[in-house]
């Protein structure tokens, strides 16, 4: 009989830590009896674990515990290696389709010049049009923090400047020596509707 080891594995993918979920296979299954499901999905009933292992060996398949919390646990006859391969392919495909929204930051000072403000607004517009969130940070230095209304006025001006492509997720709020506003891209209606 083939013996497969199944452990929870930690691995890195694209800089993030992922946990691979593995099931108990063959001799690792601990319960005395299990509800057995064939490779076609047909219910074979509740059988002792020894008999289930014999059936799996006869068919050249693995016995995999798919629902350990059920009473009795549900085990399925399958080719475990093929199952793991197909599952990893599905996960990879799901990751491809997933859209990652990152947060881009635009930093301003309360006494910013007109042209500099327009450059920052243009950059924020570009970030929003590419689907990213924008964090508008107004940095206060020294005694500037005593006039938060200047920062709020500047934040609201930025919100107004970008109102055609963005919506406010988080209104202006003082956090330490900074005032932060978060803008998200507006959902553009599809061209077929208009």
What are the pLDDT digits (tens) for 40-55?
878 888 888 888 888 8
- In this predicted model, which residue has the larger pLDDT, 192 or 101? 101
Rounded to 5 degrees, φ, ψ at 170 are: -135, 115
Between CA 4 and CA 22 the distance in angstroms is 11
Q: Residue 62: what pLDDT?
A: 84
The model's confidence at residue 2, banded by pLDDT at 50, 70 and 90, is low
Peptide bond between residue 92 and the one before it cis (omega within 30 degrees of 0): no
Question: Pairing relation of β-strands 133-139 and 103-108?
Answer: parallel
pLDDT above 60 for 3: no
Q: What is the pLDDT of residue 188?
A: 53
Superfamily in which the 103-185 domain is placed by CATH:
Translation initiation factor 3 (IF-3), C-terminal domain (3.30.110.10)
pLDDT over 50 at 150, yes or no: yes
Q: Give the percent of the chain with pLDDT over 90.
A: 26
Distance in angstroms (rounded) separating the CA atoms of residues 141 and 162: 26
Q: Which residues pair with 133 in a beta bridge?
A: 103
pLDDT of residue 13: 42
What's the whole-number mean pLDDT along residues 143-171? Answer: 90
Q: What pLDDT is stored for residue 83 in this prediction?
A: 80
102-107 long-range contacts, CB within 8 A, separation 24+: 102/132, 102/133, 103/132, 103/133, 103/134, 103/135, 103/182, 104/132, 104/133, 104/134, 104/135, 105/134, 105/135, 105/136, 105/137, 106/134, 106/135, 106/136, 106/137, 106/158, 107/137, 107/138, 107/139
**Cα 162 from Cα 122, distance rounded (Å):** 9
Q: Taking the CA atoms of the chain, what radius of gyration do you get in angstroms?
A: 29
Say how far residue 178 (Cα) sits from the centre of its chain: 29
CB of 31 closer than 8 Å to CB of 73: yes
**For the residues 57-74, what does the mean pLDDT come to?**
83
In whole numbers, what is the pLDDT of the chain averaged over residues?
81
pLDDT at 20: 42
Q: In the chain, where are the structural domains located?
A: 9-95, 103-185
For residue 6, how many other CB atoms are within 10 A of its CB?
18
Condensed to tens digits (0 to 9), the pLDDT of residues 7-18 reads 444 444 444 434
Within 13 Å of residue 9, how many CA atoms lie on the same side as its CB? 8
CATH number for the domain formed by residue range(s) 9-95: 3.10.20.80
């Amino acid at each position: 009989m083939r013996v497969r080891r199944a452990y929870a594995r930690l691995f890195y993918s694209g800089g993030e830590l992922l946990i691979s979920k593995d099931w108990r296979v063959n001799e690792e299954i601990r319960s005395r009896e299990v509800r057995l499901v064939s490779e076609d999905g047909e219910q074979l009933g509740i059988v002792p674990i020894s008999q289930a292992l014999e059936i799996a060996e006869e068919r050249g398949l693995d016995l995999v515990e798919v629902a350990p919390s059920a009473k009795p646990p549900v085990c399925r006859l399958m080719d475990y290696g093929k199952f793991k391969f197909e599952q990893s392919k599905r996960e990879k495909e799901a990751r491809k389709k997933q859209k990652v929204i990152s947060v881009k930051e635009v930093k301003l000072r309360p006494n910013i010049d007109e042209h500099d403000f327009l450059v920052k607004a243009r950059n924020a517009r570009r970030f929003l049009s590419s689907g990213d969130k924008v964090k508008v940070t107004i940095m206060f230095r020294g005694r500037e923090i005593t006039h938060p209304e200047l920062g709020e006025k500047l934040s609201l001006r930025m919100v107004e400047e970008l109102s055609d492509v963005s919506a406010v997720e988080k209104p202006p709020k003082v956090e330490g020596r900074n005032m932060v506003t978060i803008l998200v891209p507006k959902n553009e209606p599809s061209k077929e509707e208009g």
